[in-house]
Structure 1
Amino acid sequence: MSGKEDNKEMNEQETAATETEETAEAENEVTLSEDELKALCREHVCPACDVMGEAKEERLRALAETENIKKRLARETEELKKFAADSILSDLLPVLDNLDLALDHAQNLDACKDFVIGVDMTRKMFLDTLGKHGLKAVGKVGDEFDPNFHEAMGMAQVADLPDNSIAQIMQRGYVLKERVIRPAKVMVNKLS
């Protein structure tokens, strides 16, 4: 025989041996049902084993973290809904300030009473509309000074008012659903 034929015969023998091994492996392969596989796993993993305990703890931590994320997202979504109008209402405050200034200026004028009444009605309607969205004015003369809602611009001495109360409002302050949009700029009464 030639060298070519020997090589060919050797390759055929190797191929046949490989096929025989694969067939033997396939015959030795065991097919288990899912229940049998679970039972086999339980037999080989001890319930008191550290690996099992660590896996349970990790699973519980992951579930707790997922629950915390859900709660945080729900809280943030509610907060976003609650204060969505914040920037729009803040932009409307100068309009309200100008209406207040017009009324303060026209208070002593008798010439345009009907006009002043119209501006006052417009201001009240504007305030009612903003109030429907949760905006409220803070700070009245005589209220106690609260740095959370008021910004002190200076001090005044008014005998009729208690100490540390608002003596004068320089610019109205507003809150939107308990959040300060703009603090009231006030003069604080100091008797001594």
Structure 2
Amino acid sequence: MNNEELNSEQDLPEDVDNANGDETETIPFEDAAEQAEEVSPLIVLQNQVEDLEDKLVRSHAELANFRRRAAVELQQFRMYEGINLLRDLLPVIDNLQRAAQAAENASSIDDLKKGVEMVTQQFVETLGKHNVEPIHAGNEAFDPNQHEAIQQIPSADVPAMHVLQELETGYKIHDRIIRPAKVIVSTGPAE
């Protein structure tokens, strides 16, 4: 090679080897590694954001499905919540019907009375299985939370503000009053 050829090779641009004529910049190996490290955390963060967005959308969908199922279950529960009580009351109704049929052929009132008392006891026991209890009011102090005073009457035997007579039995379930007992309250001895 002569000097002219060497000089002409030196005058050539650096990317003469590129066959397409694209002007690409060659990056030294160390600079390429640095750029890869700079891009990598960004890509990782973008992937994490996409994953979190996907999880958020799925969580919202699961929550909406849970709420829908819970609403349906609650509606079903409310619709059929008394079914166990009703199943237990059906034999009581059957016995009342039997008592009515027996009344037609009863030879004595005592037998009919005994049958009605048995059905009444069965009814109270059935309610007791479902935590429904009668409120006992006889000769107790008047409690406006459990008793409803219908009337006040003076009495020498019963102290003032005590139940003189129970007119209608009250009932409660657990600690909640279903129906207060209707009572007559003593005002104490007459003046």
* TM-score (ref. length: structure 2): 0.47
* TM-score (ref. length: structure 1): 0.46
Higher-Rg structure is: 2
